[in-house]
Amino acid sequence: MEILKVIHHTQGGEKYRYTAPRYALDERKVMWQCFGVQLFDPIAIYQQMRIVSDFWGNTGKNTIFHFVISFSKEKVKDAFTAMRFTKEIFDYLLRYHQIVISIHKEDQGGSLYHAHVIMSTTNYLDGDLFEDKDENFFIIAQRIANATRSSCLLEILYSVGKTMQDTDKNQDENMNKKEGFKRIFSPQWE
């Protein structure tokens, strides 16, 4: 089973938008690709995402989403496959949003590879926001199930009372998790 985690840092604010690309592109990455932003410098990525959201008047709104997809060892045995699946899952958003995809290799029991997807909520063509709605997350989870042809567990996680002060630690260590909910999606074929 694949797992999609949607991570909300409710008190992260601008610091989290700065920290998230840095985390995704840290030394654990084995493959990465950027869409609509510069490839190598997390500070430049932060600045470019901020310029676009400011241009469209989205300053102070929910600025990014952080998605983590943990691929099962049975489905994904290498970084190339993890990247291929991730791009297929998010292809409908890659044309309109600034996105960083970073593949990390880490044995987490049932998963060897996981993808971090840092996405600016601002559509850079028309300024519309990708909304923080369950329906949007359901679409992504269903796309994971369809692409991998296996079930996908969606977990929506909220940070509680902590900011991203320690940017060098694993994000899971930086927040107390409160689960919003979990839901399983099964593959659907045409």
For residue 59 the two structure tokens come to 């300053």
Higher pLDDT residue, 67 or 166?
67
| Rounded Cα distance, 103 and 82, in Å | 7
| pLDDT (mean) for 52-66 | 87
| pLDDT (mean) for 162-180 | 48
| pLDDT (mean) for 42-56 | 93
Q: Do the beta carbons of residue 83 and residue 103 sit within 8 Å? A: yes
SS (H, E, C) 3-14: EEEEEECCCCHH
| pLDDT (mean) for 65-70 | 95
Q: How many CB atoms lie under 10 A from the CB of residue 26?
A: 15
Residues above pLDDT 90, as percent of the chain? 67
Helix segments in 131-186, DSSP class H: 134-148
Confidence class for position 172, pLDDT limits 50, 70, 90: very low
**pLDDT, position 109:** 85
Kindly list the domain boundaries of the chain, sorted by start residue. Answer: 2-185
CA distances from 126 to 63, 66, 68, 117, 137 (A): 15, 22, 26, 21, 21
Residues above pLDDT 70, as percent of the chain? 85
CATH for 2-185?
3.30.930
Q: b/e per residue, 97-123, with b = 16+ CB within 10 A?
A: bbbbbbbbeeeeeebbbbbbbbbbbbb
| Rounded Cα distance, 143 and 137, in Å | 10
| pLDDT (mean) for 29-35 | 96
